Structures are given as C-alpha cells and as structure tokens.
Structure 1
C-alpha cells in the first residue's frame, strides 16, 4: 500500500499512526498539496491528502474513508473504533471535534500566511481562532484528568486518542500560541503520552 501526502497533515498522520498500530506495512509518496498539484490530482481528483493506494491499485480518499477500510481489515477485536453503540459514538464525536480543530488551524494558516499582503480578513481570523479555542475547551473537558485512565475512553487507546494527538501536535507545530499547555493541561498530557509511543514515533510530524 502507498500512503500519499506529507506528515505535516494531521489527517494523513492519523492514518499512518493507525496503520502502525494495526501492523499494516505501507510506503509513503510524499506529495505536497501546493507543489505537486498535478501529480496529486492524478491520484485524488480533489487534489487533497491523504490518499491510500491499495495493492490492487484501488484508491481511497479522505482519512475517514481510509480508516473505515483499515478498521475492517484489522477486524473488530483490535479496531481502534468500536463497531457499534455508545462507545463508537463517543470515539467519533471526539475525533470529529479534533479534526475540526485541525481544519480551522489549516484555514487560519491559509488566511494569515498565504494571502497577499494586506488582504487578510480579520473577521475570519477571529472566527477561526474562536473555533479552535472552543474545540480545545470541549476536548479539555472530555480528556482524562490526572490519576485517571490515560485515554479518553479508559485504559485502552482508541481512534479518539490517535486523532486528538495528531491534531494537537499539528496545532503545537503550526500555531503554538493557540494551545498553551497550562490552559489545556489534560490535553497536553494526553498528547505527550501518545507521542512517546512507537506507533507515533515511527510516523513523526514533519514540516512539509
């Protein structure tokens, strides 16, 4: 299998970490959404990452579609996302908010770092920053406190933890001022616990 994209994408990185967790080997094709638009467009018509090229050349788009395939391949006994019920809904709820935080950090960077001088819309900047802050506050309230179980749903890691950790590291690397650890101590601790694991260290954040 070939995982297409760069490791500064939290969406791609959560797929890579999940594949590491399941022991599914993969190659990387490090294409940039900016510098490699033509090559990327030949793989994904939207020119987005991640994409996963399967061994039979079928291509999967979007991290959630890819994770659904990986969960099915791994089987319900070790799947990071519960197959049904309240736990499944909680994992997906946390992952959705974490992905939303990552999406707004990306949007904020696009608005403040890639626009021509003087064309940044301060209203959009305030809105994106507010959405990041609201998402982080919600995740902080859901995160385990000190002396509790280490992960969102208890002693075992789930996709909620993988996605949140990837999104938080992306925030730290791209907009550290929005994620002061003293404001979000439970989230900061969860991120640190995750990033020392081999499944994360094997696919580290890398600036594209």
Structure 2
C-alpha cells in the first residue's frame, strides 16, 4: 500500500499513525496537494489527501474510509483494533472521533482563510464562526476527557485517542493562541503523551516521510 499526502495534514497523519498501530505495512509518499499538484493528480486524480493506493491499484479517499479499510485488513492477522466492537464502546469512540474531526475541519478552514486568502478578502464573520466551532469541539473533548480519560499506551490507544491527539497537535502548531492549553489541560496532556509513542514519533507533523515498512 502507498499512503499519499503530507504529514502536515491531520488527516494524513491520523492514517499514518493508525496504520502503524495496526501493524499494516505501507509506503508513505509525501506529496503536497499544492506544490506537487500534478504529481499527486497522476496518482489520485481528485488530488485529495490522504489517498491510499491499495496493492491492487485501487485508490481510496477520505481518512475515515481508509481507516475502515485498514481495520478490515488487520482483522484476519492481528487482534489489534482501534475501533471497539461493542456497540456502547464503539458509539463512545465515534462520538470523540467526530469531535476531533470537527476540530480538524474548522482548524483547517481557519488556516486556509488566513494563509491562502488575500487579507483584503478575508471575511471576519466567517472566521469568528469557525473559530467558535473549533473552540466548541475542543471544549466538548476536554469535558469528555474529564469524565473519562483516553487510553494512551501503544497497545491500548484507540482511534479516539489517535484522532484527538493529532487534531490537538495540528491546531496548536498551525494556530497558536487560538485554543488555550491552560484551559484544556487534559487535551494538552493526552497529546503530549501520545506524541511520545513510537507510531507518532515515526510520523511527525510536517513535511517528512514515514519510514518504509514491509
């Protein structure tokens, strides 16, 4: 398998970390959807990161769909799962993953508005709205972790733990000062501990490449 996209994307990074935790071999190709548009398009015509090129040549899009495929691939060979099987546990995990992905989406929208749109074209009411949505998502996650901390060991972290840690790191790296770590101490601690895990260290946020596995 080939994972296409840069690790400065939280969506690419959550896939890269998850594939490692699931023990699935893959090659990471760090291609930018901006600077490497033509090269990316030759692999994945929609130019959407992440894209996963399967062993049979099929190209999968969207991090959540890619990870659904990854869970199915891992099932016959390992007992490791990132999504719980039980209905109640799965619902809880999906709830937190949804909040983490919402935080990612709104953070990305802020970054694009501030960094890609000319200053005189930026729309202050839109920025205020998506910033409020970002803060709301992280507020809900912080409250959820206060009620029930997320596992953060290499053999126990689940998809909620991965996605939450990746989202928090992305927002802090790209939008410093927007979401206060002091007001979200559980999220800050969870992310810091997750970043120490081998799967996270092997896929650091930025323009680097995961080591080739397999």
Superposed pair shares fold, TM > 0.5: yes
Give the corresponding residue for 2:109.
107
> In the aligned structure 2, how far is the partner of 1:127 from the partner of 1:149?
29
**CA deviation vs aligned residue, 1:93-114 (integer Å, no higher than 9, x gap):** 1111101111111111111111
> In the aligned structure 2, how far is the partner of 1:170 from the partner of 1:202?
16
Structure 2: 5+ residue stretches without partners: 209-214
Report if the CA contact (8 A) 2:51-2:61 is conserved. Answer: yes
Higher deviation after alignment, 136-145 or 186-195: 136-145
Give the corresponding residue for 2:50.
50
How far residue 40 of structure 1 moved from its aligned partner, in angstroms, is 2.0
Structure 1: 5+ residue stretches without partners: none
> In the aligned structure 1, how far is the partner of 2:192 from the partner of 2:103?
18
Give the corresponding residue for 2:212.
none
Give the corresponding residue for 2:183.
183
Higher relative contact order structure (alpha carbons within 8 Å, sequence separation ≥ 6): 2
Give the corresponding residue for 2:139.
137
**Structure 2-normalised TM-score?**
0.89
Select the residue among 84, 94, 112 that pairs with 2:96. 94
Distance 1:163 1:187, change over 3 A: same
Report if the CA contact (8 A) 2:71-2:81 is conserved. Answer: yes
What's the Cα RMSD here? 1.9
**Structure 1-normalised TM-score?**
0.91
> In the aligned structure 2, how far is the partner of 1:119 from the partner of 1:34?
20
How far residue 41 of structure 1 moved from its aligned partner, in angstroms, is 2.6
